[in-house]
Amino acid sequence: MELVIFSALEGLHVRAEALRDLALLTPSRLDQVQRLLSSEQPPDAIYLDDSRSLPLPDLWRTTALAQQMGVRVFINLYGPARSALNDAQSSGMPTLSSGDPEAVVAWLGAQLGLAAGGQAARVPVVAVGAAKGGIGKTFATCVLAEGLRRRGLRVLVWDSDISNPGLVPAFRVPSSAPSYLHLIQRGPAHWNPGDIRPFVYAPDSTRGGAEGWGQIDFLIGSHSVARAELDVRLPDWQGFFTGVAATEGYDLVLIDTPPDYLRRPYATHVLQQGGTVILPAPPGARERMGVGHLLDHFREHAPDRLDQCLLLFMEPERGVTSRVSEVAELFARRYPQVQALGTLPRSPRLASMADEHDGYVSMLDLGPHSAFSHATHQITDALCTRIGLNPRLPMPRISAWQRWMAQVKAA
């Protein structure tokens, strides 16, 4: 059964996932709701409340459209529109007046005849976001995934930037790897962990091996240049997100999100659903302006979750006069809730060696004692502490002598 929930009630979406045999769609705009209702295969039911301060005329037009399409409508008026509760009840629609998400979910379950199956075990989700391309988002995703793997953790990397799938060349993903876009096209009934599992690509190059490390698996979208028919609507992505977050066998889901955050606010959805967002932050003026725009967007749409945003500073490229310490101070003053994850040094030599290698190889393998590897392990450890992960392996130790010798060899 498909249920559209159009609500900003805190915790409602997460609690509704405990209902068995229910596929949730959680659009954030009313026009998206109306497109779903007008589609060839509309949802089975829709829940509307006044937590988004929806004007009453828009509310009645949406409910009328749903009834016209044969979609069941559930109304909860507990805030600004509570005075219209009697009108909703007189129309014969199931109504409620409660701001308690647990009570709302219990009511929905009773109305739909669905029993609670217990809260699904959600994997911690971390999205890597950016407001512009070329800022180091995919690079940060690769580095974090490898750092986590070396701590014995199992990571599912989801490439959501289908217009520019940078993870495909970075990890040498072959064209024969399955694409989750085909599963999305099958509809919400297939967006569950069991149906998602066959579309996970698990290469031998990112297994644990003799070192006892963890693993990196992938959900890959497009292997070609972006095409209109491969685009994913936001409600579809949100519904698919629910299935991915409930997939068992992983310690973390790491999402590489697209930079067009206004049209594809995937990182915003991750925040709203209780996840964490990492923002690569080079100190250049244009780059830090983009990070600021994205943080302002989060402040508007997920103000109570801004403390779950983490800044990953990156050493400036040659010629950039701004320093990380100066930029970090600016962000700390303007966004005091946002914490710094650390600073990732640039290592063009290691990056070039990895790019030119015939098969996949990590920069951490090419320079195991480098300053880059040392910083990566520290950042990974800070991330684990921040989101409550318990690594199976201790943080690799790199002595100052080893780092110095690595610098001498690189020179």
Helix (H) or strand (E) holding 217: strand 215-219
Handedness of CA 101, 339, 320, 170 (dihedral sign): negative
pLDDT score recorded for residue 407: 66
| DSSP-assigned letter for residue 131 | S
Q: Output the DSSP codes for 32-87.
A: HHHHHHHSSS--SEEEEESTT---HHHHHHHHHHHHHTT-EEEEE--STTGGGHHH
pLDDT score recorded for residue 362: 92
Considering only the C-alpha atoms of the chain, give the largest distance between any 2 of them, rounded to a whole number of Å.
Answer: 80
Give CA–CA dist 2/4, Å, rounded.
7
pLDDT score recorded for residue 410: 61
Domains of the chain: 2-112 (3.40.50.2300), 125-410 (3.40.50.300)
pLDDT score recorded for residue 381: 96
Give CA–CA dist 403/409, Å, rounded.
10
Q: Check if the beta carbon of residue 314 is closer than 8 Å to that of residue 136.
A: yes
pLDDT tens-digit series, residues 311-345: 999 988 777 778 899 999 999 999 999 999 999 99
pLDDT tens-digit series, residues 179-215: 999 888 888 778 888 899 999 999 999 998 778 899 9
pLDDT score recorded for residue 133: 78
Instruction: Give alpha helix (H) positions in 231-284.
Output: 234-245, 266-272
pLDDT tens-digit series, residues 144-192: 999 999 999 999 999 998 877 789 999 999 988 999 998 888 887 788 8
Helix (H) or strand (E) holding 137: helix 137-149
Task: Please identify every stretch of the chain with a pLDDT value under 50, giving residue numbers as ranges.
Answer: 118-121, 225-226
